[in-house]
Amino acid sequence: MHKSMLAALLVSTALGAHAAGFTLTSPTIKPGSMLTDAQVFKGFGCEGKNVSPALKWSGAPAGTKSYAVTVYDPDAPTGSGWWHWVVYNIPATATELPEGAGAGDGKGALPAGAVQGRTDFGSAGFGGACPPPGDKPHRYIFTVYALKSDKIDVPADASAALVGFMIHANQLAKASFEAKYGRKK
């Protein structure tokens, strides 16, 4: 690739990644805090409530046609991290997801048209934190993406990686915060 083309791509990517004023907050989780039992998985030796937190966003850039939300643990001992929640096709009119929206049983309060993708737990819906006992606390990155497309078109059983690829291909901006969680040995 020619140096000037590469430089233009890098500038375009950097500008598209963080729109000024696009923010993600949560009344449930403070950035940098430790997750509570509410956001911990129930299974694999964890005894949490497995409830997705409330999330709110504002300041999306002009041209936003939909949103996607992900929760990702880059510290999972898999070689590729762990996808805990993937929600896409959230309408551009939405500015929040209420606590419990990620219920895997379909009883969550997602906006009309929103789809929960398959997580690394093997099913759709929010899967809470459950790092191996004795690991240093893992980081959980909560991200909302403003997208330039109305809809991400992927198969119903698409992997989180495929959904993530489509999110990044359509991304106008993103906003994130991080929380942590660890288990004693």
Distances in whole angstroms, Cα of residue 160 to Cα of each of 57, 67, 68, 72, 83: 22, 15, 12, 10, 7
What is the CATH number that goes with domain 3-181? 3.90.280.10
- pLDDT for res 108: 79
Query: pLDDT over 90 for what percent of the chain?
Result: 84
Residues belonging to the chain: 185
Tens digit of pLDDT for each residue in 23-80? 999 999 999 999 999 999 999 999 999 999 999 999 999 999 999 999 999 999 999 9
* pLDDT above 80 (res 106): no
Query: pLDDT over 70 for what percent of the chain?
Result: 90
- pLDDT for res 137: 97
Question: Sign of dihedral through CA atoms 28, 34, 36, 39?
Answer: positive
Q: pTM, whole model, 2 decimals?
A: 0.88
Domain spans of the chain? 3-181
- pLDDT for res 107: 76
Confidence at 182, pLDDT banded by 50, 70, 90: very high
Q: Which pair of tokens denotes residue 147?
A: 């997208």
CB 48 within 8 A of CB 58: no
- pLDDT for res 19: 60
**Exposed e or buried b for every residue in 106-143, given b needs 16+ CB within 10 A?**
eebebbeebbbbbbbbeebbbbbbbbeeeeeebbbebb
- pLDDT for res 20: 73
Distance from C-alpha of 181 to C-alpha of 113, rounded to nearest angstrom: 31
- Look up tokens 């489509």; give the residue: 166
* pLDDT above 90 (res 10): no
- pLDDT for res 143: 98
Tens digit of pLDDT for each residue in 144-168? 999 999 999 999 899 999 999 999 9
State mean pLDDT over 164-173: 98
State mean pLDDT over 16-28: 80
CB count in 10 Å sphere of residue 27 = 12
Three-state DSSP state, 17: helix
